[in-house]
């Protein structure tokens, strides 16, 4: 959109090519510099997730974090581990975030880790620097 004597406004984020799916090692955070932002890239099976290199708690470097899973809600004396490879832990204070939604595990923080829209087409990985839509179900 552009009006007389105004600067053009981009309505949709630019799509950036990150590389081939094979370029990303599973469960290992890769770092990309996109539009002046450091972004963590994480592969899980044939999907790729992207998040800001900035923890919403105190700005810790999330790209240096640990990738893991978490204990899932369950009945007393039952223990269910899940979301393996979809949780990233801040290296400063160990806050854990879901890379699908950006939510903190256990919802202990109101703010979320910024997660970005990614897409794998063919064997190629693309990103747009806008918030990803929250999935309806996470397992």
Is 3 domain-assigned? Answer: no
Q: Identify the three-state secondary structure at position 74.
A: coil
- d(CA 80, CA 72) in angstroms, rounded, equals 5
- pLDDT of res. 13: 80
> CB of 43 within 8 A of CB of 24?
yes
Is 4 a member of any domain?
A: no
| pLDDT value of residue 132 | 62
**Residue 54, in any domain of the structure:** yes
Give the structural domain span for 92: 15-131
Q: How far is CA 47 from CA 25, 70, 105, 117, 118, in A?
A: 11, 19, 21, 11, 9
Total number of domains in the chain: 1
pTM of the full structure: 0.83
pLDDT 10s per residue in the chain (139 long)? 455 555 655 567 899 999 999 999 999 999 999 999 999 999 999 999 999 999 999 999 999 999 999 998 899 999 999 999 999 999 999 999 999 999 999 888 889 999 999 999 999 999 999 766 655 444 4
Residue 81 lies in a domain: yes
Per the document, the length of the chain is 139
Give the domain CATH number at 57.
2.102.10.10
* Rounded distance between C-alpha atoms, residue 26 and residue 37, angstroms: 22
**Which pLDDT score, from 0 to 100, does residue 84 have?**
96
Residue 37, domain member (yes or no): yes
* Structural domain includes residue 136: no
Per-residue pLDDT, 106: 85
pLDDT at 137: 44
């Amino acid at each position: 959109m552009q009006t007389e004597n105004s600067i053009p406004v981009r309505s949709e984020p630019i799509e950036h090519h990150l590389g081939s799916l094979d370029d990303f090692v599973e469960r290992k955070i890769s770092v990309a510099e996109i539009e002046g932002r450091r972004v963590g890239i994480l592969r899980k099976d044939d999907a790729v997730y992207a998040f800001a290199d900035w923890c919403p708690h105190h700005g810790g470097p999330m790209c240096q974090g640990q990738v893991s899973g978490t204990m899932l809600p369950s009945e007393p004396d039952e223990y269910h581990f899940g979301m393996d490879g979809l949780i990233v832990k801040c290296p400063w204070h160990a806050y854990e975030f879901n890379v699908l939604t950006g939510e903190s595990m256990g919802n202990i923080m109101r703010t979320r880790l910024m997660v970005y829209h990614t897409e794998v087409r063919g064997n190629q990985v693309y990103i747009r620097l806008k918030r990803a839509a929250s999935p309806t179900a996470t397992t």
